[in-house]
Amino acid sequence: MSTSTIAPVFDEADLVAKAKAGDAAAFTELVSHYDRRVFRMAKQITQNDEDAEDVLQETFLKAYSHLDDFQGNSKFYTWIVRIAVNEALMKLRKRRSDRTVPLDDPIDTGEDVVAREIAVWEDNPEQRYSREEMGNILDEAVQSLKPAYRTVFILRDIEEMSIEETAQALNLSISAVKSRLLRARLQLRDKLTRQFKRKGDDALAYL
């Protein structure tokens, strides 16, 4: 009896090897595995459905065209994210006339690192909100960050890339990534604390 291949585990390396050898179905499987994450990231960066769809398509078409350039030095998804980020940033730059701040804006030189909202959270806020409500709260908070902070946070803390990978993808120094990440995390913490703080703790002074 031949080995059963029912419900195969997603094997990225194997699919990438097949795709590089010209197996279109393998590439399509890779796309299907990552498309929602790429779209989410594109939307978070561009803040726009249409641009996000463009980014989604351009990312995978480009990846397909340049598959031979992928040497396996990073994870395949990291490579995809890098393409997607570049595409998304290009979109963002094209729309500079709106309220977005340029990504290379020198915003974090010596700017204070502060935590404004000091309050403990209610237990398990995830359980108080529906999955959709929670998603909206988290999305909104990310959207409210400046683009320079937002992109760093998305790559590092949502896509779970390393500091080094994030720096590479955004063409930033390690120290710039670290400093933006700290501000992004603290600002998000402030925003979510306003939402999730335990009732009755408003006036509680810890000092």
Partner 1 sequence: MLTCKQFLEDLNEYLDDQLDPKLKQELQKHVNECPNCWVVCDTTEKTLKVYKGMEAKPLPADIHSRLMAALKKKMGDRCTGSPQQETGPQQSKGTS
Residues lying near partner 1 in the complex (CB under 8 A) are found at 22, 24, 27-28, 31, 35-37, 39-40, 53-54, 56-58, 60-62, 64-68, 113-115, 118-121, 125-126, 134-135, 138, 142, 157-158, 160, 178, 181-182, 185-186, 188-189, 192-193, 196, 206-207
- What does each C-alpha distance from 4 to 21, 23, 30 come to in angstroms? 24, 21, 22
> Which C-beta is closer to partner 1: that of 13 or that of 61?
61
| Nearest CA among 119, 24, 131 for reference residue 67 | 24
CB of 91 to partner 1, least distance (A): 13
> Which C-beta is closer to partner 1: that of 93 or that of 116?
116
CB of 1 to partner 1, least distance (A): 34
> Which C-beta is closer to partner 1: that of 9 or that of 21?
21
Structure tokens at 3: 């080995």
> Which C-beta is closer to partner 1: that of 162 or that of 171?
162
**Distance between CA atoms of residues 188 and 194, nearest Å:** 10
Question: What does the radius of gyration of the chain's CA atoms come to, in whole angstroms?
Answer: 20
- C-beta neighbour count of 33 within 10 angstroms: 14
Asked if residues 64 and 20 have their Cβ atoms less than 8 Å apart, the reply is no
CB of 3 to partner 1, least distance (A): 29
